[in-house]
A and B are shown apart, each in its own frame.
Chain A
Amino acid sequence: MMAIRELKVCLLGDTGVGKSSIVCRFVQDHFDHNISPTIGASFMTKTVPCGNELHKFLIWDTAGQERFHSLAPMYYRGSAAAVIVYDITKQDSFHTLKKWVKELKEHGPENIVMAIAGNKCDLSDIREVPMKDAKEYAESIGAIVVETSAKNAINVEELFQAISRQIPPLETYENGDSGTIKLGKQTAQTTRKCC
């Protein structure tokens, strides 16, 4: 039987880079060509096993449009992880990504796990952002980096698995009386025991 652990994750990034498509691929394993821009934010969940725990991702997929920018803090503030998405065919979206990282560093939770996703890697013919740039940048900020394609289902699962692995294991400590492991509920990632 495994503990279920809730992990709040939010997706950030420029408009049109494919945040919702990544979530949709991850949660429903589905891709829609004619997806409309997200309004505000949308919420989905998916539970995946990780070691001897189950991680339930509570995903806030935020709107990329500039006008919704100031809504983002309410979603990333309580998050255990942030996926910052850029479009490998758009240099601009990589700049926006850097701005998001900066904002997260300044206003985000202290230990937030950051993952950089270079989406639309199926379009590498018209690539504008070299893989190397992204890797170096990610290294400099200590973030996970991966190129994904929501359309072709490349690296989407892996992205979330990598996040799972980066989440520090639950703090466990000995209970003097019974010697059992206690699971706190006072962590950013709420823990609930289940299956």
Chain B
Amino acid sequence: MLLEDTRLEKEEFSTAFPEKMSTSTMESQTLDERGSFFKLIDTIASEIGELKQEMVHTDLALDDGRTSLPSLEKDMGDVCPDQKDFTNIIRDSGYDSLPNKLSILDKLLHTHPIWLQLGLNDAEAVEILRSQPPGTFLVRKSTRMQKKVLSLRLPNDFGFCLKEFAIKESIYTFSLEGSGISFADLFRLIAFYCISRDVLPFTLKLPHAIATATTESELEEAAQLGLNFWSSPANNKLQKSSPLQKPLPSDSIYKGSQQLCLINGVHSIRTRTPSELECSQTNGALCFINPLFLKVHSQDVGGNLKRPGPKAQDVNGPERSRSPPPRPPPPSIHSLLAHPQLSRTTNQTSLPETVSHSKHWNLDVIQKRPTPIPPPRLKKKALSLEAESNEKNSAVNKPSHNLVDGTEAASIPGGAPPQQNLESTNSLAAHCESQVQWNGGRQRLSNMSLSTSSSDSLDFDRSMPLFAYDGDTNSSLEEFEGESDQESMAPPLKPKKKRNGSFVLPKIVKSQLRKMSGVFSSFMTPEKRMVKKIAEMSQDKRTYFGCLVQDYISFLQENKECHVSSTDMLQTIRQFMTQVKSYLSQSSELDPPIESLIPEDQIDVVLEKAMHKCILKPLKDHVEMMLKEFHTADGSWKQLKENLQLVRQRNPQELGVFVPTPDFVDVEKIKVKFIAMQKMYSPEKKVMLLLRVCKLIYTVMENNSGRMYGADDFLPVLTYVVAQCDMLELDAEIEYMMELLDPSLLHGEGGYYLTSAYGALSLIKNFQEEQAARLLCSEARNTLRQWHKRRTTNRTIPSVDDFQNYLRVAFQEINSGCTGKTLLVRPYITTEDVCQLCAEKFKVDNPDSYSLFLFIDDTWQQLTEDTYPQKIKAELHSRPQPQVFHFVYKRINSDPYGAIFQNDNSDQNT
């Protein structure tokens, strides 16, 4: 299998690194006669090597995709048999009649300020639920368990009034602990449990006022009460006034569920198959899987509560459902001075166009109240406003950006020629127009995904990119294996399909998916939707966030003299992105809260992507221009240009290259990648391309000679390649990446190869001045040091995120002693999962007799299944007195070799 091979290759490749480096450094010391330029090479190489020690750990054992694959397959196997029945039932769902009826999901989305109470503590939850009928629920974050929980009111005869069900968040999904069914977001999860009890003792009940509401405005009115809803007459009065409809405590009803619980035990209730679910809960299930419903919701998650209508598929027609924190819609100060009436005009012009929507959005009118703040947010379709802002940004929104975006959306960073991208863009457009046509396919998808233990099609969409699309540059080069050596003409989706080859899917669905996956994965995953939503919000000056972003962009474009250097400018931009991210995650401007849509350990990743899109994308051209200006002004580009010329005339040996060099074709290939890199606005994607270039260079070196090479051989070759490519702009590219990449990503290979590339460029810049080389190399070294310090200062306190998502685990076997491997272990991965991973990785036949231990202070502690190894590691690292500790995967019964392990220092934790 391709995947397997490349991984092996990768492991060899990266483990070869450290030894290589130390031997050749030693070697180099004996070769003093090489001259100062070579010394410069050596110094920089060893400098990079040192940084590498701090930043990188390359022998990754596996990636995300593999972690989640087994469980997906398992789930799929469980439910596939029912698929046929299920399909038929869905066809009967009669969704034509539904447009006027609010689905459960609709209701949940509208009323989340009532039931989604992440800040609520244990006592407060009891306080609220005590007076509510059984089945009533809240979702909150338990400080005790450090995760979200579903607090469910039990019938009085249960003995205690509420029970908490932990909500498990994986990288991509939410699920109730103990259940095999996972969901794209919290809303779907709750909607599902309103219909099917699965692991719950009974289904969730919406408060009566919500359950009986028939219009969005009723729901909005209730939602406005927020937490006060629970104690409000709106909740209580209705319940009392309509005892017949009262969903609750008539004992007879509850005996049933109680017995059920007693028989099965609250936790051990068998998960029902979808077909059972369908039969027993006709009404709800109908509603739940209704395609129309899904469609509505797929937009809802993006914040759009618009009912499906002729224009419902408007790709650009996003909008926030609820009133956002309002604020004056100010232009930047300059335009404010120039056009004092601008903001008011804007609102006036947007008004008429909003009228047609007022039926749906009458809640806005309700919410409108006298405040010093200008008008309430009117829902979307302020085309004039958009046009205006587009106009404003037209300078930076050149078509090339769309192409880049298309490329990125297809998750193939570069490589694909423009025609490809155009094609995919077109197909997106076509797809939107022919909504009816592909609705069929989508419906089938949704069946499918239910049978894959997911709530709906979107879940499945989300699982598609597991392999190819991860957006994590921490991961190793192997991520690119599938793509890197392909011709750049390859269609964007090819690698993805290949990777999914091992995925077991029903045939029909598979072919459907092949047709659809590109379209779906490009904009339908919750991450994508969230990024899109944030990006749209950033264009909307009626939001505080939109103002911040737009004002900042115009500030940068209009205040060229504000920044003293290129570094200063890039730092300011990075700082702005970081701060705005923290604003978005801590304020309530994102509505519904991002925590309800994106699993917690993915929130930062998603926000970072959104920042790239809404800040870097519009600024890219400006930043490039400014970098050029700075470097032209300080003469560094002139020098670089001259030296590039000079270096290209030398033979490779003069550059310190003693290995086969890439030939013309390879250099052209690399150049294509560099050019693709230039088109990206996302530093993360740029770095991915840089990694591909580095990988390609290694491959060429190895193929041409049949042996492995380390960093000391690599740097001169990289220098040679960079010179051959003759791209002045690379200097700016490297700077862009070094300063704008998310600091957490600097710890990975990205950071390492960035410094290599920086080193290569400084070698070229200093090539001529052999005499000054000594001085200059210390300069380059200082710059690197400073850069590393600066970019990592705000992360001095260890937290789970600091540890690269990698965990070094030693494997102790009686016969073979100790071997260590570094595994990709995310912060929220439990010990149980790590054990599974280890069993796979170390090829253990009987995983049950093995477990993960923490060896510290000469004692062994077996970690319980529900602990988080990364959190333990972070905790240990943050202790004032650093202690030596190891994670060891070994037999559970006592081990005579423990003593040997103690002396084995090869397994230092990173």
Give residues of chain B (648-698) contacting chain A, Cβ–Cβ below 8 Å: none
B332 contacts the other chain (CB 8 A): yes
Question: Interface with A: B184-192, B404-412, B585-593, B829-837, which one?
Answer: B585-593
Q: Are A39 and B113 interface neighbours, CB within 8 A?
A: no
B891 contacts the other chain (CB 8 A): no
A78 contacts the other chain (CB 8 A): yes
Known contacts A45-B587, A184-B367, A187-B373, then 6 further A-B pairs from the complex at CB < 8 Å, ordered by chain A residue = A39-B575, A70-B559, A70-B562, A188-B325, A192-B113, A195-B119
A77-B547 contact, Cβ under 8 Å, with A180-B233, A182-B225, A183-B228? yes
Give residues of chain A (1-19) contacting chain B, Cβ–Cβ below 8 Å: 1, 3-4, 6, 8
Tell me the nearest residue of chain B to A45, going by C-beta: B586
Residues of B within 8 A of A191 (CB): 226
Residues of B within 8 A of A44 (CB): 582
Q: Are A188 and B326 interface neighbours, CB within 8 A?
A: yes
Out of A39, A109, A177, A194, name the residue touching B117 (CB < 8 Å): A194
Residues of B within 8 A of A1 (CB): 124, 127-128, 227-228
Q: Are B576 and A40 interface neighbours, CB within 8 A?
A: yes
Out of A58, A74, A177, A188, name the residue touching B371 (CB < 8 Å): A188
Complex CA distance for A163 and B785, rounded to whole angstroms: 43
Give residues of chain A (152-191) contacting chain B, Cβ–Cβ below 8 Å: 171, 177-188, 190-191
A115 to chain B, nearest CB (A): 18
Tell me the nearest residue of chain A to B230, going by C-beta: A1
Count of chain B residues with Cβ under 8 Å from any Cβ of A? 59
Out of B333, B334, B559, B571, name the residue touching A39 (CB < 8 Å): B571
A68 contacts the other chain (CB 8 A): yes
Q: Give B contacts to A, CB under 8 Å.
A: 113, 117, 119-121, 124, 127-128, 224-228, 232-234, 237, 322-323, 325-328, 330, 332-334, 336, 367-373, 376, 544, 547-548, 551-552, 555, 559, 561-564, 571-572, 575-576, 579-580, 582-583, 586-589
A195-B224 contact, Cβ under 8 Å, with A58-B587, A111-B372, A178-B233? no
Q: Are A109 and B233 interface neighbours, CB within 8 A?
A: no
Complex CA distance for A187 and B374, rounded to whole angstroms: 10
Q: Are A180 and B232 interface neighbours, CB within 8 A?
A: yes
Out of B128, B327, B562, B586, name the residue touching A188 (CB < 8 Å): B327
Tell me the nearest residue of chain B to A65, going by C-beta: B562
Q: Are B336 and A73 interface neighbours, CB within 8 A?
A: yes
A194-B226 contact, Cβ under 8 Å, with A39-B572, A68-B562, A110-B372? yes
A183-B551 contact, Cβ under 8 Å, with A40-B579, A42-B579, A73-B330? no
A50 contacts the other chain (CB 8 A): no
Residues of A within 8 A of B332 (CB): 70, 73-74
Q: Could you list some 19 contacts between A and B, CB below 8 A? A: A3-B227, A4-B119, A58-B583, A58-B587, A70-B562, A73-B333, A74-B548, A78-B547, A109-B373, A171-B370, A180-B233, A183-B226, A184-B367, A186-B367, A186-B373, A187-B373, A192-B588, A193-B226, A195-B117
Residues of A within 8 A of B547 (CB): 74, 77-78
A42-B575 contact, Cβ under 8 Å, with A74-B332, A78-B544, A180-B225? yes
Q: Is the interface of B mostly helix, strand, loop or mixed?
A: helix
Residues of B within 8 A of A41 (CB): 575-576, 579
Sort A-B residue pairs by CB-CB distance and give the 4 closest, nearest first.
Answer: A193-B226, A190-B325, A74-B551, A193-B227
Chain A contact residues (Cβ within 8 angstroms of B): what range? Answer: 35 or more
A71 contacts the other chain (CB 8 A): yes
Residues of A within 8 A of B368 (CB): 186
How many A-B contacts at CB < 8 Å in the complex? 151
Complex CA distance for A39 and B793, rounded to whole angstroms: 14
A186-B336 contact, Cβ under 8 Å, with A6-B587, A171-B369, A194-B117? no
A186-B572 contact, Cβ under 8 Å, with A111-B372, A180-B233, A195-B124? no
A185 to chain B, nearest CB (A): 5
Out of B326, B544, B561, B571, name the residue touching A187 (CB < 8 Å): B326
Residues of A within 8 A of B334 (CB): 70
Residues of A within 8 A of B227 (CB): 1, 3, 193-195
Residues of A within 8 A of B583 (CB): 43, 58
B729 to chain A, nearest CB (A): 26
A178-B572 contact, Cβ under 8 Å, with A107-B333, A187-B373? no
Residues of A within 8 A of B127 (CB): 1
Q: Are A71 and B552 interface neighbours, CB within 8 A?
A: yes
Q: Give A contacts to B, CB under 8 Å.
A: 1, 3-4, 6, 8, 39-45, 58, 67-68, 70-71, 73-75, 77-78, 107, 109-111, 171, 177-188, 190-195
Residues of A within 8 A of B561 (CB): 67
Residues of B within 8 A of A188 (CB): 325-327, 371-373
Residues of B within 8 A of A4 (CB): 119
Residues of B within 8 A of A195 (CB): 117, 119-121, 124, 227
Tell me the nearest residue of chain A to B564, going by C-beta: A67
Q: Are A184 and B333 interface neighbours, CB within 8 A?
A: no
Tell me the nearest residue of chain B to A61, going by C-beta: B579
Complex CA distance for A170 and B552, rounded to whole angstroms: 31
Complex CA distance for A53 and B142, rounded to whole angstroms: 22
Residues of B within 8 A of A181 (CB): 228
A192 to chain B, nearest CB (A): 5
A69 to chain B, nearest CB (A): 9
Residues of B within 8 A of A177 (CB): 234
Residues of B within 8 A of A73 (CB): 330, 332-333, 336, 551
Complex CA distance for A168 and B839, rounded to whole angstroms: 61
Residues of A within 8 A of B323 (CB): 185-186
A34 to chain B, nearest CB (A): 11
Tell me the nearest residue of chain A to B581, going by C-beta: A43
Residues of A within 8 A of B117 (CB): 194-195
Residues of A within 8 A of B559 (CB): 67, 70
Q: Are B544 and A184 interface neighbours, CB within 8 A?
A: no
A109-B234 contact, Cβ under 8 Å, with A1-B124, A6-B588, A78-B547? no
Complex CA distance for A75 and B333, rounded to whole angstroms: 11
Tell me the nearest residue of chain A to B322, going by C-beta: A185
B258 to chain A, nearest CB (A): 30
Complex CA distance for A8 and B332, rounded to whole angstroms: 19
Residues of A within 8 A of B367 (CB): 184-186
A178-B571 contact, Cβ under 8 Å, with A73-B330, A78-B544, A190-B325? no
Tell me the nearest residue of chain B to A189, going by C-beta: B325
Q: Are B586 and A194 interface neighbours, CB within 8 A?
A: no
Residues of A within 8 A of B228 (CB): 1, 3, 180-181, 183, 193
B851 to chain A, nearest CB (A): 39
With most chain A CB atoms within 10 A of its CB, the pick from B121, B371, B561 is B371
Complex CA distance for A1 and B336, rounded to whole angstroms: 42
Complex CA distance for A78 and B550, rounded to whole angstroms: 14
